[in-house]
Homo-oligomer: A and B are copies of this chain.
Amino acid sequence: MIVGVLGPAGSYSDKAAKGWMEKQGISDSSSLLYYDDISDTFSAVIEGKTEIGIIPIENSIEGSVGITLDLLLDSDVTIIGEVVVPIEHCLLSKGKMDDIRVILSHPQALAQCRQFIRTHFRNVEIRTTGSTSHAAKLANEFEEMAAIASKESAEAYGLNILMPNIQDRKQNHTRFIAIRRTDSETGETNTEDACTHKTSIIAYIGNDKAGSLYELLGEFAKRDINLTRIESRPSKRSLGDYLFYIDLEGSTSDAIIKDALYHIESRVSMLKVLGSYNGYQLDS
C-alpha cells in the first residue's frame, strides 16, 4: 500500500503516517511518498498516485487546518481513519541562540508558538515553509536560520535542539485523517486498539441559519448521538454564510445514525458524509 504525506521526512505527518501504518500492520516504510504541501497530498490520492493520504486536520492550540477543510468539501475522498499525534515543537539550528536572524516554519507551527516568538524573537524575520521538516532542511544551510520543527527533524537534518517544547501550551496535539479516493476499495481497516469510532459530515444550511442549526443539532440530540466536534467555516459566498463540519460518535452502518442523517438531509441545502472510521492516539 502506498501512503502519501506532507514531507520531507521528519514532519509530524510522517510520524502520523508511520503510526497509522503500524496500527494497520503495514510496516514497510518504503511505501511512503512525500509531497510538498497538503494540496499535493490530496491530489496524489485523487489521481491514484497513492492509495492513502495522511492529512493534518486540527490542532488543539490553533484549531482547524483551513486548507484541509476546504479540500474535504471539494474533493471526492473518504475518511477511513484518524490518528492523534502529540506535538512538541523545538527550536532547531546549526548556530546559537544569538546568531538567529530568521525563523522558518509552517504557518500552523508558527501560530502554535506565537507567544514564544513574541517573547524571545520580536525582531527576527519570519518565513513560512510548506512543512516543519522543510523548514529544518532549509535551516541546515545557514547558521543564522532556525526552524520550528520536531526533534525527529533535528536528527534528520543535523540541527541542534536550542530549545525543546516551545509551543504556547504544554499539551499540544494534532489530529490527522487517513483519506482514500471515494470510488476506490482498500478493504477493511484494522480496528484493533482503536479508541474512537466516529462519522464526519459537512452540512450547508443555507440562508436561515439560527433556527436551522438548532434543528440540525436537535436531530442528533433527540437520538442521544454525541457530537465530538462542531466547526463553522465560511462558505466563501458572503460574510456570515457558513458550512458546518460535524463529527459524531457512531457509524453510518448504525441504524440510528442512518436515520438521523436521513432526517438532516431533508433540512439542509447540502449534506456530505465524509466517512465512518476508527481513531488511534499515539504516545509522545
Contact = CB atoms under 8 A, between A and B. Distances in A.
A240 B229 contact: yes
Nearest to A40: B118
Nearest to A229: B240
Interface residues of A, number: 51
**How many identical chains are in the complex?**
2
Given A66-B111, A128-B126, A209 B228 contact: yes
A107 B84 contact: no
Interface of A: 39, 58-63, 66-67, 84, 107, 110-111, 114, 118, 125-129, 169, 171, 173, 175, 209-211, 213-215, 217-218, 220-221, 225-234, 236-240, 242, 248
Given A107-B128, A210-B220, A173 B227 contact: no
A145 B45 CA distance: 34
Contacts of A237: 171
A69 to B, nearest CB: 9
Query: When A and B form their complex, which 6 residue pairs have the shortest distance between CB atoms, in order from nearest?
Result: A210-B227, A214-B217, A214-B221, A60-B239, A127-B127, A210-B226
